[in-house]
Amino acid sequence: MITISLAFHRIRKELSVICSASESAAVAHVLLEHITGYDRAARLTRGDDVLNAAQTKALEGALVRLLTGEPIQYITGEQWFMGRPFYVTSDVLIPRPETEELVQWVLSEWKQRNNISILDIGTGSGCIPITLQLSMPGSQVFSLDVSEKALLVAAQNASRQEANVNFVCGDFLDGQVKERLGMHDVIISNPPYIPYSDKDLLDKNVGAFEPGVALFVPDDDPLLFYRHIASFSQTQLKDGGAVYCELNQDLAQATADLFEGLGFIATMKQDIFGNDRMLRASKK
């Protein structure tokens, strides 16, 4: 038998071999809230409560997975994004703060407008299109992904959040798929942008567990998706519209130059850490 308090200290101790003290404490809090249903304040007053058999089994299983480097979000099946909980599995990327900044940029420029059409390229968990639709209820939102499994996750999130998003399964690199996507005021994407050769440079919990199809591009064509997005937007972006993309900071200027070369006005934006991580492109 193990109490909630002892479980917290055990998690921290076992994870100390793979992460810092602050990271292990953060994971311990998330995991114990998931297992017990008690938030941090409640656990402080119930630290002597003993975990039942099912909770103990869940703890043991989670520790085994965590020690392989698997992200806590895949174990709990949840990640928060802009104040909302999103269901996640290993079929989708884990939503990140940088993507919140991209969505906030769009909202700062479009939230007061009515009846706009938005296309999200690369649905994943659905955090981008769902957040935009809920923040702009009068908008029409379409979201494309090549992965049927990712779209099932996104559809579940849309249902839970009561968001009206039109999901489309297809490969954006396929010209016939593009022909079905229509014209839009806002085109937004967090596309794959990491060269395959950089995989070993990533944290293990990213490179070994998150879906490669959403992360990696060929070494000899790292701007593959940006080129297709820019080309598509030349004809499918409505007058006065804008394209918003998350960037590989090492290729930010090259991406901006690509859009500029195709007739757009490109503006880069830094994230909270001072890195060039976002781009807006509008027609000249």
pLDDT in tens, the chain (284 residues): 899 999 999 999 999 999 999 999 999 999 999 999 999 999 989 999 999 999 999 999 999 999 999 999 999 999 999 999 999 999 999 999 999 999 999 999 999 998 999 999 999 999 999 999 999 999 999 999 999 999 999 999 999 999 999 999 999 999 999 999 999 999 999 999 999 999 988 888 898 999 999 999 999 999 999 999 999 999 999 999 999 999 999 999 999 999 999 999 999 999 999 999 999 999 87
Q: Which two tokens stand for residue 102?
A: 């991209």
Whether residue 160 sits in one domain with residue 121? yes
Q: Which two tokens stand for residue 219?
A: 């070494």
Burial 58-86 (b: 16+ CB within 10 A, else e): bbeebbeebeeebbbbbbbeebebbebeb
Q: Which two tokens stand for residue 205?
A: 């919990």
Whether residue 98 sits in one domain with residue 57? no
Residue 283 and residue 263 in contact, taking contact as beta carbons nearer than 8 Å = yes
Residue 106, domain extent: 88-283
Residue 47 and residue 4 in contact, taking contact as beta carbons nearer than 8 Å = yes
pLDDT at 114: 86
97 is a domain residue: yes
Amino acid in position 88: V
pLDDT at 34: 97
Whether residue 150 sits in one domain with residue 18? no
Query: Taking the chain, what is the end-to-end CA distance rounded to the nearest angstrom?
Result: 67
Whether residue 150 sits in one domain with residue 36? no
74 is a domain residue: no
Predicted TM-score of the model (pTM): 0.95
pLDDT at 212: 93
93 exposure class (CB count in 10 Å sphere: 0-12, 13-18, 19+)? buried
Number of independent structural domains in the chain: 2
HSE, CB side, 13 Å, CA atoms: give it for residue 173: 10
pLDDT at 201: 87
278 is a domain residue: yes
